[in-house]
């Protein structure tokens, strides 16, 4: 109707989490370009600026914009980009801030797509050039988004590194040739509703609601890494029977190249968790053979490792201790890997029988506190002292200890120094897979010769994003990681 009346329509789009002077000047300048100004905001579920964002709900953000006299219409967009409102409104002018003028500076690459779409409908893009403020910085400093210890850590860290520097460092890793070797695991969540105590026993009864499968274990690690390098090779074992191979292959990213070896007398490992609607785990069932007849598969994998391991810049081993990685394979990895990053996970199926002591060497070791104490058989000494003991034993260059809600630390052997970071997520949806994410990104950074301090930060940022995701539903998306780094270090 407005088009038929000959009105010149202007569109602005953004998060608008905290309206400030820069936003107001931007919107006022946009209104001058036409007769009516449409302002659209990204709905809460599609804002990808990291945990705790947006601070204000989509309804409040929309109300704030609607209260401005320069804004004529407000819409909430259930998508990550402005392509939907551009297609529906077909503005004569699409207005963005000056920070988007150079398309190469846009982390998402969306500005190029939006510009093309605007021009497709006969419109043009206009960049305002006025006073600017950082909403992220204002929110971080004045709205209690982060507790004092995180604010203190970030203030110290960003004096050394800007978000652009960190992002450029991560982009410099793209040519690394990476091998991931470890158990292929199919994670299952069976969502249930609690009914209460059984009428004929002391057990709890639940009502089944739905189920979901995820590619876990080494599959998840390979997918995390795939966004940051051109090619990833994964070596893993599948069952000849109950292989789940079609599902597994369908979940691997396009640049992940699998080398699967097949157990004759064991299924592909399935870990089924019964989960209530609040994502609390009620019960877990393992479908696997923890003592497969591995002679045939061991010889084949060892032969492959003997020929190929040295070709890779970085080898990452998520050793879940479920029967795939043998002593022979470990020997080949320790002998031939140019940079070896290892985690030996402690879980219900291997408790008391599995530790980092299986390895004679590693360049980077990542453990949580129980894994560290199991490896050293020490309940009481400090984590720092135990880390020093393990790093010396393996001749490792780096050892990280993930500390859950207390963050993480990384011991650098030469020169000896311990770096610490607090947990960078203020909300936790699901902790499953967070340690794997940390191993993936921190290991990749250290294998690419980035500093210990940067590797610890990046691994922790990635883990903070991962605890917002149910199990391994999504892998680490570089753009989302970059945007959260930008949010954290915004000055």
The 10s digit of each residue's pLDDT in 12-29 is 999 898 888 888 989 999
Residue 311: pLDDT band with limits 50, 70, 90: very high
Please give the average per-residue pLDDT across 388-408, as a whole number: 95
- Structural contact between residues 280 and 307, judged by C-beta atoms closer than 8 angstroms: no
Lowest mean pLDDT among 58-62, 96-100, 106-110: 106-110
Is residue 487 predicted with pLDDT exceeding 90?
Answer: no
pLDDT for the residue 141 = 56
What one-character-per-residue DSSP string does 430-488 give?
--TTHHHHHHHHHHHHHHTT--HHHHHHHHHHHHHHHTTSSTTSSPPPHHHHHHHHHHH
Please give the average per-residue pLDDT across 345-356, as a whole number: 88
Is residue 292 predicted with pLDDT exceeding 90?
Answer: no
Is residue 103 predicted with pLDDT exceeding 60?
Answer: yes
Residue 142: pLDDT band with limits 50, 70, 90: very low
Is residue 182 predicted with pLDDT exceeding 90?
Answer: yes
pLDDT for the residue 137 = 57
Q: What is the pLDDT of residues 243-278, one digit of tens each?
A: 999 999 999 999 999 999 999 888 999 999 999 988
The number of helix segments (H) and strand segments (E) in the chain equals 16, 18
Most confident residue range from 43-57, 87-101, 286-300 = 87-101
Is residue 49 predicted with pLDDT exceeding 80?
Answer: no
Is residue 34 predicted with pLDDT exceeding 60?
Answer: yes
| Cα 396 to chain centroid, rounded | 25
Lowest mean pLDDT among 18-27, 113-122, 124-133, 157-166: 124-133
Please give the average per-residue pLDDT across 409-431, as a whole number: 91
Residue 132: pLDDT band with limits 50, 70, 90: low
Please give the average per-residue pLDDT across 221-240, as a whole number: 96
pLDDT for the residue 125 = 93
Please give the average per-residue pLDDT across 188-193, as a whole number: 95
Percent of the chain surpassing pLDDT 70: 95
Is residue 55 predicted with pLDDT exceeding 90?
Answer: no
CA distance 244 to 274: 20
Is residue 180 predicted with pLDDT exceeding 50?
Answer: yes
CA distance 103 to 331: 49
Kindly report whether the global pTM for this prediction surpasses the value 0.85: no
Q: Tell which wins on pLDDT, 293 or 59.
A: 59
* Sign for the pseudo-dihedral over CA of 454, 460, 464, 470: positive
pLDDT for the residue 78 = 94
CA distance 293 to 262: 11
């Amino acid at each position: 109707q407005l088009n038929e009346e000959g009105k010149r329509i202007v569109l602005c789009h953004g998060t608008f989490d905290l309206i400030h002077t820069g936003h107001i000047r931007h919107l006022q300048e946009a209104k001058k370009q036409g007769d009516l100004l449409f302002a659209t905001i990204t709905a809460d579920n599609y804002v990808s600026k990291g945990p705790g964002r947006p601070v204000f709900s989509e309804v409040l953000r929309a109300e704030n914009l609607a209260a401005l006299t320069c804004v004529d219409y407000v819409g909430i967009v259930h998508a990550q980009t402005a392509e939907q409102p551009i297609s529906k409104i077909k503005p004569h002018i699409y207005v963005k801030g000056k920070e988007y003028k150079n398309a190469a500076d846009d982390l998402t690459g969306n500005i190029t797509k939006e510009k093309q779409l605007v021009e497709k409908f006969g419109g043009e893009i206009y960049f305002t050039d006025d006073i600017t403020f950082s909403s992220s910085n204002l929110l971080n400093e004045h709205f209690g988004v982060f507790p004092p210890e995180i604010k203190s850590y970030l203030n110290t860290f960003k004096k050394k590194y800007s978000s652009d520097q960190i992002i450029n460092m991560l982009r410099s890793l793209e040519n690394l040739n990476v091998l991931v070797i470890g158990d292929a695991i199919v994670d299952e969540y069976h969502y249930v509703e609690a009914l209460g105590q059984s009428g004929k026993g002391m057990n709890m009864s639940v009502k089944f609601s739905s189920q979901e499968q995820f590619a876990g274990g080494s599959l998840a690690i390979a997918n995390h890494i795939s966004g940051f390098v051109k090619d990833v090779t994964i070596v893993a074992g599948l069952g000849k029977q109950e292989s789940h191979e079609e599902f597994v292959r369908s979940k691997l990213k396009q640049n992940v190249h699998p080398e699967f070896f097949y157990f004759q007398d064991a299924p592909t490992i399935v870990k089924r968790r019964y989960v209530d609607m609040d994502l609390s785990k009620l019960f877990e069932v393992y479908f696997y053979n923890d003592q497969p007849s591995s002679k045939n598969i061991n010889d084949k994998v060892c032969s492959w490792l003997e020929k190929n391991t040295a070709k890779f810049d970085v080898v990452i081993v998520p050793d879940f201790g479920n029967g795939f990685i043998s002593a022979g394979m470990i020997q080949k990895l320790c002998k031939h890997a140019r940079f070896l990053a290892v985690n030996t996970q402690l879980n219900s199926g291997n408790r008391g029988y599995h530790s980092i002591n299986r390895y004679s060497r590693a360049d980077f070791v990542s453990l949580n506190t129980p894994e560290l104490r199991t490896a050293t058989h020490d309940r009481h000494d400090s984590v720092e002292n135990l880390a020093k003991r393990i790093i010396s034993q393996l001749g490792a260059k780096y050892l990280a200890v993930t500390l859950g809600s207390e963050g993480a630390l990384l011991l650098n052997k030469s020169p000896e120094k311990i770096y610490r970071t607090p947990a960078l997520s203020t909300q936790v949806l699901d902790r499953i897979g967070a340690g794997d994410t940390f191993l993936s990104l921190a290991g990749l950074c250290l294998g690419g010769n980035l500093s210990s301090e940067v590797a610890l930060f990046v691994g922790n940022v990635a883990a903070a994003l991962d605890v917002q995701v149910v199990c391994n539903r999504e892998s680490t998306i570089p753009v989302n990681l970059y945007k959260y780094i930008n949010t954290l270090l915004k000055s």
